[in-house]
Structure 1
Amino acid sequence: MNLAGLDLAIIGPALLAGLLVLATHVPLGMQVLDRGIVFIDLAIAQIAGLGVIVADVAGWEPQGWAMQFAAASAALFGALLLTWSERRWPQIQEALIGVLFVLASCIGLLLLANNPHGGEHLKDLLVGQILWVSPAQLYGTAALSVLLLLALFGLRWRLGRLGFYILFALAVTASVQLVGIYLVFSSLIIPALASAALHGRRRLLAAYALGAAAYALGLFISALADLPSGAVIVLVMAVLGVLLSVLAGSGRQMR
């Protein structure tokens, strides 16, 4: 047990990063489930990660605007490509999303093949570095989250296919650099899936509560046990998701 790891100066910003990710990913996750395109976030996140890798290979500053532009441009390209493919081949859209994810992953691996720190970069993209988020990242993500939520709830029924994919790409681009691909996927799918038996505002609140509890408890456990925070949060979120799903399902049967 590592009590020294319970440093609020580190855990506090990490928890805030998780809450910012949840702010946009919970409602987006519900729409993803409704649309039947569960793996879209993995594909978009991997494409955004590929943009980060390309920018790193080009020698751009890790936290600079050029890096953000590269990641956002790559994600928006993926969003436009998926919009086009959904319009043309809607019956195989999920399969195309999977293929896009694999292609982006393989291109990223090839680009990092001769990089002595390639393994470390790949791990950062997958698991993330939530404990080392900077204030600049939090401020930028907070501002973007407010704009995305205003668009998501204010224009919900008028976004259309293209609008949804663009919002999704921007949200994932910001979050994947904060918490990594695994936590992006978990934050998007697990709360939405676990609360599926509920409806309306109750579902939204339950999903937010689940995600917030998972980040808080996961960070606490990882700090005490000195374990990778991203992996612990994912596992905690899965366990809490199962509990919420069972409770929500039981409550529905009792009515």
Structure 2
Amino acid sequence: MSFDLAGAEASILLPALAAGLLVTATHVPLGMQVLARGIVFIDLAIAQIAGCGVLLADQLGFEPAGAAVQVAALSAALAGALLLTWTEKAWPEVQEAVIGVTFVLGATGSVLLLASNVHGSEHLRDLLVGQILWVEPARLLWVAAAYGLILILWFSARDRLGQIGFYALFAVAVTLSVQLVGLYLVFATLIVPPLATRRMTRRRLPAAWLLSVAGYATGLMLSTALDLPTGPVIVWVLVALALVWHAATARRAAMVDGQG
């Protein structure tokens, strides 16, 4: 009986962990660029716009996991990305504020789209919190292929992408990730590990990747043991680990300065 229970938990947790690893692989390096550009809330804005595309396709009667929904989400995200590319050139001094307004419009647009839907609150919760525990293993295969292409483009042609290329690549990554793990986890993965390691000058990316992987693994186990919502638990664990990491690296830096 206990063996069967453990096997059932593993069949759920392993795909969820795989989803977390995939999101970590792409979003941590993208998050470092987001911090460097000073556009921290861009993923919330683009993810919310992509969510509007998903909800609109759902309202039109398309299958939730069908190709039409993916096209709608990606088209909405790319349109938002192009808009933010234009505003960054037109009004660079207020880009962060424009991103905030875009997010609010996307968020309230989602509420309006769901106003007449009897399952509206469930759809909105899924968009924000995600359903990482119920991710389909078959879906992870094509998402992994897409993420692999994103990483190849990022590490081989990052300096040549330009603003439009960066925003477009970012829109694709966020659109895929929100449907896997939800908006909150996408934001946490994108920002928290790069923020915790921002003072590192060597091996920052591996450290940020490790921090994110530890957050997903620990959060999954804790949420299962405590029977709590998985997405929020992972977010809290990520932040807790980030604080510990930041304190440890700050103390180490202080010791090195003291010896010098």
1:14/1:130 contact within 8 Å kept: yes
Letter in 1 for 2:183: I
Deviation at 1:194, TM superposition (A): 0.3
State the match for 2:247 in structure 1: 246
CA RMSD across the alignment: 1.4
Match for residue 137 of structure 1 among 136, 139, 147: 139
Letter in 2 for 1:241: A
Letter in 1 for 2:214: A
Pairing 1:65–2:62 present: no
Distance (Å, rounded) in 2 between the aligned partners of 1:199 and 1:168:
24
Letter in 2 for 1:189: I
State the match for 1:227 in structure 2: 228
SS in 1 for 2:163: helix
Paired residues for 1:140-159 under 5 Å? 140-159=142-161
Distance (Å, rounded) in 1 between the aligned partners of 2:120 and 2:109:
13
Runs (4+) off by over 3 Å = 3-6
Match for residue 125 of structure 2 among 123, 126, 135: 123
Distance (Å, rounded) in 2 between the aligned partners of 1:101 and 1:227:
28
- Counting aligned pairs with the same residue, the percent is 59
Higher-Rg member (1/2): 2
Deviation at 1:159, TM superposition (A): 1.0
State the match for 2:172 in structure 1: 170
Deviation at 1:254, TM superposition (A): 2.3
Distance (Å, rounded) in 2 between the aligned partners of 1:229 and 1:243:
21
Distance (Å, rounded) in 2 between the aligned partners of 1:204 and 1:15:
20
1:197/1:252 contact within 8 Å kept: no
Distance (Å, rounded) in 2 between the aligned partners of 1:107 and 1:158:
34
Distance (Å, rounded) in 2 between the aligned partners of 1:254 and 1:145:
40
Deviation at 1:135, TM superposition (A): 2.0
Distance (Å, rounded) in 1 between the aligned partners of 2:20 and 2:68:
24
TM-score, structure 1 normalization: 0.97
Match for residue 48 of structure 2 among 46, 49, 54: 46
Structure 2 residue runs of 5 or longer lacking an equivalent are none
> Which fold has the larger relative contact order, with Cα–Cα distance below 8 Å and residues 6 or more apart in sequence?
1
Residue by residue over 1:39-87, the C-alpha shift from the partner in whole angstroms, topping out at 9 and shown as x without a partner, is 0000011011111000110111111111111110000000000000000
Deviation at 1:248, TM superposition (A): 1.6
1:24/1:145 contact within 8 Å kept: yes
Distance (Å, rounded) in 2 between the aligned partners of 1:195 and 1:151:
24
